[in-house]
Chain A
Amino acid sequence: MPQTFPQNKGSVLDIVNLTMNFGGLRAIDAVNLHVKQWEIVALIGPNGAGKTTIFNCITGLYKPTAGDIFIQPPGRKRKRVTGMKIHKITKRGMARTFQNIRIFSNMTALENVMIGRHCRTKAGVWEAVLKNKRTRKEEKDIVSQSYNILAKVGLTQAVNELAKNLPYGAQRRLEIARAMATEPFLLLLDEPAAGMNPYETKELDELILRIREEERISILMIEHDMKLVMSVSDRIYVMDYGEKIAEGSPSEIRENHVVIKAYLGEEFDA
């Protein structure tokens, strides 16, 4: 069971009363959610429940209507990041993948990961033109670090392959690698197993656990594959119609009547 990992410390992400309206539609309604250090948390719920919208609010893509988002990277001060610019949030240590894969299709796998290193490197226009020693070293480091990350997700074979030519499962792993390259303390995965076959899902299961182990980071994951969710997560949040309807350990969630009802509909509730 996943609970074997070192006892969880303080929370790294706190979402307080987060609300998001689209015109008349309330996609998220006063949701509270938190993720602790080294924790793997799953966010589940039926289609349209508002899960991706939460990710978009956290990562700055959407400006929430109300509520707050705080982060506290390990060893750093607590900080409010609500409404901050997207790239600044990534720089502060939260990186994500997308439900509909958004890799840079005409760049190679390695180049995709190298983009992830952008916010941790410095070379500007002058450095690019002059290409002095420091810049050459930085470039070299970007390459070797990116290669190592590709190795972690098992994509060394495809290193020079254009991303659009990779199989689906590999593209999803590439997105994870790219996000990891930004050195996050919290990795946000939006349906990482979508479209994967059972074998690939199994591999993903191991990958997620290994990332937590080796990188010592927290993971917040949206997923519909219950087997994966139950096997990797420490805690689970359940959403329906923009509201949080349950939270707890995998075993608690499995028994929860409200959750079963939300997933299977009213008539099943006999």
Chain B
Amino acid sequence: MDYFLEIFWGGLTRGSIYALIALGYTMVYGILELINFAHGEIYMIGAFTALIVSTALAMAGMKGLTVFILASVLAVIYASAYGFTVEKIAYKPLRQAPRLSPLISAIGMSIFLQNYVLLAQTSDFLPFPGLIPEFTFMQPYAHIIGSTEMVIISTTALIMLLLTVFIKFTRMGKAMRATAQDRNMAMLVGIDINKVISSTFILGSALAAVGGVLIASHIGRINFYIGFIAGIKAFTAAVLGGIGSIPGAVLGGLVLGWTESFATGYVSSDYEDVFAFAFLVLILIFRPSGLVGRKTIQKV
């Protein structure tokens, strides 16, 4: 039973991270119908920024939660700045281009960012400092769920809540929903599309950065390549839930997290990544509209 619970919480932790990254894919797709291939790289850059900042601060003698908070804040700021810039450079000039052009551009951007970090930093795995303290009240449950996992799950839950409030009630949230439904109509009623798109990228990147910091402190090491795999898995989560749908992304993330956790926990850990990819291929084939997405018929 304890083993089951451990796997359950482990899956939930993974799933939370996937959900955080998946939100960025889903929101961009909802508005631009673009698979933002470089999103995984934004997440990686978020994690890298946190690593650099926290290591630098630690060397300067700072300790504990302050480092964690400062590093996270900077990671979020930088990831958002990258997300914003990537959109302006690689996607905005291609708004009117054929559908595959922005996707190919996104792939180029992803390769560029990966190699940018590889060349400017290193190709080796770097140790990520354990920033999240061990809580004493969690001690009795340590064999089932660690403090870091606890923090990840509750932070994600809190962020989901905030995001829901933002999307439902704020002006920008409403503008985003309107643009996702019908871009031209939104433009006609006076919504500044460029601003909405930029905000979407900034928001999505910020969420990815949070995911990056959390998972890096959980796993304890990162390199330039972590964005690629995480990106594809998060995309799988987004598609699984129904791309374009925000609750779908969360649901998809959790389902994928659990599937992976249980599959590696009870079957075999050699094929951890294969499960995710196979899952992706299967969903796209059998249920391309996802778990909560509605089937639409292309209007002719």
Contacts and interface: CB of A to CB of B under 8 A. Distances in A.
Q: SS class of chain A's interface: helix, strand, loop or mixed?
A: loop
A22 B300 CA distance: 13
A56 interface: yes
Interface in A55-102: 56, 61-62, 98
A23 interface: yes
A52 interface: yes
B294 interface: yes
B300 A56 contact: yes
Interface band, chain A: under 10
B297 A98 contact: no
Interface string A31-66: 000000000000000000000100010000110000
B99 to A, nearest CB: 15
A52 B300 contact: yes
7 contacts: A22-B297, A23-B294, A52-B300, A56-B300, A61-B300, A62-B297, A98-B300
B255 to A, nearest CB: 25
Contacts of A22: 297
Nearest to B294: A23
A131 to B, nearest CB: 31
A12 B294 CA distance: 37
A56 B300 CA distance: 8
A98 B298 CA distance: 14
Nearest to A22: B297
Contacts of B300: 52, 56, 61, 98
B145 to A, nearest CB: 42
Contacts of A23: 294
B21 to A, nearest CB: 31
Contacts of A52: 300
Nearest to A62: B297
A230 B294 CA distance: 42
B169 to A, nearest CB: 27
A87 to B, nearest CB: 15
Contacts of A56: 300
Interface in B176-210: none
A175 to B, nearest CB: 14
Contacts of B294: 23
A62 B300 CA distance: 9
A150 B297 CA distance: 33
Interface in B59-113: none
A53 B282 CA distance: 31
Nearest to A20: B297
Contacts of B297: 22, 62
Contacts of A61: 300
Interface in B286-300: 294, 297, 300
Nearest to A52: B300
B298 to A, nearest CB: 8
Closest 7 CB pairs of A and B: A61-B300, A56-B300, A62-B297, A22-B297, A98-B300, A52-B300, A23-B294
Nearest to A56: B300
Interface string B256-300: 000000000000000000000000000000000000001001001
A135 B194 CA distance: 53
Contacts of A98: 300
A197 B294 CA distance: 41
Nearest to A100: B300
Nearest to A63: B297
A4 to B, nearest CB: 35
